[in-house]
Structure 1
Amino acid sequence: MKLNRRKFIGTTAAASALLAAPMAIGSGHGRAKVVVIGGGAGGATAARYIAKDSNGEIDVTLVEPTRTYYTCFFSNLYIGGFREIDSIAHSYGTLASEYGVNVIHDWAISVDRDAKTVTLAGGSALSYDKLILSPGIDFVDGAVPGWDLNSQNAMPHAYKAGSQTELLKAQIEAMPEGGTFAMVAPPNPFRCPPGPYERVSMVAHRLRDINPTAKIIVADPKEKFSKMALFQEGWADNYSGMIDWIGADFGGGNVEVDPHAMTVSIDGEVTSVDACNVIPAMKAGRIAEMAGVTDGNWAPVNANDMSSKMDENVYVLGDATSQGDMPKSGFSANSQAKVCANSVRGALTGSSVFPARYSNTCWSLIDTDNGVKVGATYEATEEKIAKVDGFISATGESVDLRAATYRESVGWYDGITADMFG
């Protein structure tokens, strides 16, 4: 299965062409209104597809506080020195100018599901017929003893891309010769299951170039992780002796940090560190909780259309959801957004709605031209989004195949960001 920018966009365009022309069945109060909160892989994609495919029949508003969106996917490659920060930065201008999406840069601070309104920090209130929430993740308070958001400058999480990513890279590059980098990995479930381990690879790649005697410690509350055999093979082949992964069996889940003293305690053993990446346990972005559509951590959704199990007029996408077998990834969110957009457009205009089909691929870079991937296809059942089949790179693959996998990931990045932002 190979993807490039042309194939990625072409597949979605072909699917859109199958959709019947919209037939307005509005409620008599003008155009139907859709409000989308969150402008990432889920929200931006949903806003674009609804606006594009409804041919002006639906008024689409996208609420996103940041004017420049930095993708979490590929942000590790910036840390590793393979990309510049501007290469993962995207704006919303094309969504507004070419697709007619009303882009509002503000924070959504409350949702009144009875009145069908969203209140913004600036004081405005937006009415909606359908609401789509794609807020990404927030962190669980107290998940890592000694760490909270007030500590994120000393020990960055860098799991919301942008300034945190730049800060973490700067701290890594400022480490003294032979210094120690520590990562506190998150428990399941979390955004981008291979992400922390690709990050370890990219940190090791950068340190090998500028600080080859440095050490990396990973404290992990899990006994295993995504692509574990692939990463461990890559670490042994490319960064021998540099990385010490400490899993649950050896106390990796018993961790405390002291951001002021710059120490990490793993199962009672205290280590001084020079840079520390704390990735806490995660939950749905706060607006989903404020809207009352979470179970306390994640937002349960119906597999056939991504609608909330608590409100048929609210849909939740991407990392914030509890939906079944799909991992929390940019590819997943983009796939879910297209299913959601088709359903919302059908509900508001009477156009055809097609059976839900989902897919995901997660690529990771281990070293220069050494790419690996894992992925699957999924279908909607009454219970959940269920995995149909899957694939994963094999250990011991050829240099040429690993290089082709990396090139494939670059093509996918170009394709998905065009699909999100136009």
Structure 2
Amino acid sequence: MTDWTRRQICGVAGGVLATVATPHVGRSQNGPRVVVIGGGIGGATVARYLGDLRTVDVTLVEPKRRYITCFFSNLYLAGLRSLTSLTFGFEALVERHGVKVIHQAATAVDPDTKTVTLQSGEKLVYDRLVVAPGIAFASGTIGNYDASTAEVMPHAWNAGPQSELLRRQLESMEDGGVFVIVAPPNPFRCPPAPYERASLVAYYFKQFKPRSKIIVVDAKDSFSGQELFQESWGRHYPGMIEWLPSQFTGAVKAVDVAARLVVTEGETFNAAVANVIPAQKAGLIAEQAGLTDVSGWCPVDPVTFESTLRPGIHVVGDAIVGGDMPKSAFSANSQAKACAFAIAAAFRGSQHFPPHLFNSCYTFMAPDDAFTNAITFAAEDGKIKATRTFMSKLGESPEVRRRTAHQAVGWYSAFTTDVFGGGS
């Protein structure tokens, strides 16, 4: 892997966002049929780019009428953004890109008959299927934890009501209380996010609950961007955030919801507020469709993103086995574009070239302190491997970090416009 300069890598990322396909006009009603399950970043991007071809009949199946981005939702927890500013609709996909949107859940996939069954019982026939199911939580990894636990110890890993619940709990917590974050094992959605959450909640505590503490009980012994986070924690929040690796605690074994206890192998933590983020796996529809392997994730061809288990079905986003590619919004967007181009080439019978894959991510440690990383990837030996990278450095000046935080706001606007064609 070779290093890139900030200017080079940001230029590449910006160029990717600016690559928008030809606007929709005059769709053929007799073209091949593509059904996309899941209207998150990966699914919406596939639908948009295939819709712009004008020769493909694209149907997006997504039960929610509004999508709230998980990325940047930690800013909401800190009181720095509203949920409305993170919320997007699907109207532009319909009006500008010719995508049909059905607001129902997909309940079953039959690869033999090439049909998707909806919650209403209606069946959609496809020529190609794209599944972008995001993540589900793996059961049985934390004792006494189930779906009902999240109503008391929220995960807030799907932005929306869970984010609002956690925000209310933080607001009502007495000064001097302990906020416990249970960080999950790898792999999981957005590797820096639990530690960004600790940082931004610490920013909130510093203003309004300065005697409070944050304990991160981790299932791992290291984490993404660790040195950058710990440098910033020492600068902004000395003594407020304690990170406990698995080797110190034996990781979380169970929770006691009634008593608000987080139990590890070696210690029990009494939490005023507990944010329990469980281990993760591919979304449930992927498992039902036979797209997951023993890992709980979906193996795919790294060039076309076609399932290696179910021909004719493609998978993009957090649900895949992504090699070096992290489970992130920008990764999902990049994979979705590659997938759309591969499907288009298959329909045309034309040659398909290996994709250029990218990830770009901004992480906040305070409102005016953010770091960034950007990586390019290539398909090599059947896997996705990192080829070039840029990451913010230790010891950067406050002015550099302020500029990075400012750039992050522009990145968010450009990125979500690329996916959804505009806000709510």
Common topology (TM > 0.5): yes
In structure 2, the residue matched to 1:183 is 181
**What is the alpha-carbon distance in structure 2 between the residues aligned to residue 168 and residue 392 of structure 1?**
30
Bigger Cα displacement from structure 2, 293-302 vs 264-273: 264-273
Note the C-alpha offset of 1:11. Answer: 3.6
Q: 1:6, 1:415 within 8 Å by CA — same for their partners in 2?
A: no
In structure 1, the residue matched to 2:224 is 226
**What is the alpha-carbon distance in structure 1 between the residues aligned to residue 385 and residue 342 of structure 2?**
19
Task: Map 1:250-269 to 2 at 5 A.
Answer: 250-269=248-267
Which sections of structure 1, spanning at least 5 residues, go unmatched? Answer: none
Note the C-alpha offset of 1:2. Answer: 5.4
Q: 1:363, 1:374 within 8 Å by CA — same for their partners in 2?
A: yes
In structure 2, the residue matched to 1:336 is 335
Note the C-alpha offset of 1:167. Answer: 0.8
Q: 1:8, 1:415 within 8 Å by CA — same for their partners in 2?
A: no
Q: 2:290, 2:310 within 8 Å by CA — same for their partners in 1?
A: no
What residue identity is the alignment partner of 2:40?
A: G
Pair 1:51 & 2:51 matched: yes
Note the C-alpha offset of 1:163. Answer: 0.8
Pair 1:122 & 2:138 matched: no
Note the C-alpha offset of 1:349. Answer: 3.1
**What is the alpha-carbon distance in structure 2 between the residues aligned to residue 331 and residue 252 of structure 1?**
33
**What is the alpha-carbon distance in structure 2 between the residues aligned to residue 382 and residue 99 of structure 1?**
35
CA gap of 1:403–1:98, structure 2 versus 1, over 3 A, is same
Which of 262, 272, 275 in structure 2 is aligned with 1:274?
Answer: 272
**What is the alpha-carbon distance in structure 2 between the residues aligned to residue 407 and residue 4 of structure 1?**
17
**After TM superposition, where is structure 1 displaced by more than 6 Å over at least 4 residues in a row?**
3-7
Q: Identity across aligned pairs (percent)?
A: 46
What residue identity is the alignment partner of 2:408?
A: S
**What is the alpha-carbon distance in structure 2 between the residues aligned to residue 327 and residue 160 of structure 1?**
17
In structure 2, the residue matched to 1:34 is 34
CA gap of 1:12–1:312, structure 2 versus 1, over 3 A, is farther
**What is the alpha-carbon distance in structure 1 between the residues aligned to residue 84 and residue 170 of structure 2?**
19
Q: Larger RCO: Structure 1 or Structure 2 (Cα < 8 Å, ≥ 6 residues apart)? A: 1
Note the C-alpha offset of 1:355. Answer: 2.4
CA gap of 1:193–1:14, structure 2 versus 1, over 3 A, is closer
Note the C-alpha offset of 1:252. Answer: 4.8
Q: 1:222, 1:247 within 8 Å by CA — same for their partners in 2?
A: yes
CA gap of 1:69–1:399, structure 2 versus 1, over 3 A, is same
CA gap of 1:284–1:50, structure 2 versus 1, over 3 A, is same
In structure 1, the residue matched to 2:353 is 354
- Which secondary structure state, in structure 2, belongs to the residue aligned with residue 138 of structure 1? strand
- Which secondary structure state, in structure 2, belongs to the residue aligned with residue 42 of structure 1? helix
Which sections of structure 2, spanning at least 5 residues, go unmatched? Answer: 1-5
What residue identity is the alignment partner of 1:47?
A: A
Task: Map 1:60-71 to 2 at 5 A.
Answer: 60-71=58-69
What residue identity is the alignment partner of 2:70?
A: C
In structure 2, the residue matched to 1:193 is 191
- Which secondary structure state, in structure 2, belongs to the residue aligned with residue 50 of structure 1? helix
Pair 1:79 & 2:77 matched: yes
**What is the alpha-carbon distance in structure 2 between the residues aligned to residue 390 and residue 8 of structure 1?**
12
CA gap of 1:351–1:95, structure 2 versus 1, over 3 A, is farther
In structure 1, the residue matched to 2:234 is 236
Q: 2:358, 2:374 within 8 Å by CA — same for their partners in 1?
A: yes
In structure 1, the residue matched to 2:388 is 389
Cα distance per residue 1:166-219 (max 9 Å; x no partner): 111111111012111101100000000001000111111111111010011111
Note the C-alpha offset of 1:253. Answer: 1.2
- Which secondary structure state, in structure 1, belongs to the residue aligned with residue 287 of structure 2? helix
